[in-house]
Amino acid sequence: MYIDEQSKMNLNGVPQFVSIRAEKENSPLLVYLHGGPGDAALPLVMKYNKMLEQQFTVVVWEQRGAGKSYYKFEGPVTIDIFLNDLHTLVDQLLSRFHQSSLYLVGHSWGSILGLRFVEAYPELVRTYIGCGQVVNMRKSSRAAYDYALAHVDKKSLEKLREIDCSYQADSWLNDLLFVTKQVVKHKGSLYGKRNYLDLILPFLFSPYYTVPDLIRRQKGSLQAIQYLWQEVMQADFEAQTKYGAPILLIEGRYDSHVSSALAKEYFERIETEKQFYWFEKSCHFPQWSESEKFNKLLCGLPGSN
């Protein structure tokens, strides 16, 4: 029995868009946590990771304020709010599908939520899969800044030298966007590419994304960065070396957007069940740059078939 549900679920009082797709009944649940914050990914997962639907019940959640879940934030918005949303989503999914735990994939910003969730609710996670894993955001931001410094032209170099890469200055948002743009332009983010066109086209051609959805995605991404980035900069898992669920990290060898070198260093210090995979033709998006390898790896996990 094929499952293809696209609907909004009420998570802690906020309607949020959730896609649930599977090719067979009783497949283990897999929840995908998109990056950003606020950077929805539904068409990309549908395009590049469709193979996962053969083995899993694939759940793509567009987090509050992101993409098809966009609304204008009011009042404080914190990482804990997103964690509570995720916990509510997981509880509802496990109850509905009569399962006791699930697979959790966290990418970039989603990897902060993912590891935090494993820390808090290890019994609900079969295996955590992190890619573009955030370990220490301050160190990662410094590494991205240093990568930009090493690659830019003279004009951009002058501007970069004025930037505080801890993003505490009044101009932090423009500074962050400028540094990120340089990392992307110099092929440190999407492997072999100087822009994100390959990641934008699937949104334009997706039957699930309307033109208003595309506009909402842009608004949601900028809004989430404005509200959450200062807290994101505090993310640091370095002191946490034991987890109550298996940890699997998939890292692009050339990721300078969120340092894969830091992720590998951290992985070596994890003292509980773990696996690490380098993707040699990837930067920050191994799940899409080398999607076939990514999908096969996940479909080969214990209990996935």
List the CATH number of the domain containing 231: 3.40.50.1820
- For residue 110, what are the domain limits? 3-136+189-299
Q: What is the dihedral of CA 136, 139, 143, 149, to 10 degrees?
A: 140
In a domain? residue 304: no
Compute the chain's Rg from CA coordinates: 18
- With H, G, I as helix, E, B as strand and everything else as coil, classify residue 226: helix
In a domain? residue 119: yes
Query: Kind and range of the H or E element at 292?
Result: helix 291-299
In a domain? residue 56: yes
Check residue 282 and give its pLDDT: 98
Check residue 302 and give its pLDDT: 85
Is the entire prediction scored with pTM above 0.75?
Answer: yes
In a domain? residue 219: yes
- Per-residue pLDDT 10s for the chain (305 aa) are 699 999 999 999 999 999 999 999 999 999 999 999 999 999 999 999 999 999 999 999 999 999 999 999 999 999 999 999 999 999 999 999 999 999 999 999 999 999 999 999 999 999 999 999 999 999 999 999 999 999 999 999 999 999 999 999 999 999 999 999 999 999 999 999 999 999 999 999 999 999 999 999 999 999 999 999 999 999 999 999 999 999 999 999 999 999 999 999 999 999 999 999 999 999 999 999 999 999 999 999 988 87
Domain count, the chain: 1
Q: Considering only CA atoms, which of 3, 5, 39, 11 is closest in space to residue 284?
A: 39
In a domain? residue 148: no
In a domain? residue 149: no
Check residue 1 and give its pLDDT: 62
In a domain? residue 141: no
User: CA-CA distance, 197 to 211, in Å (whole number)?
Assistant: 17
In a domain? residue 160: no
End-to-end CA distance of the chain: 16
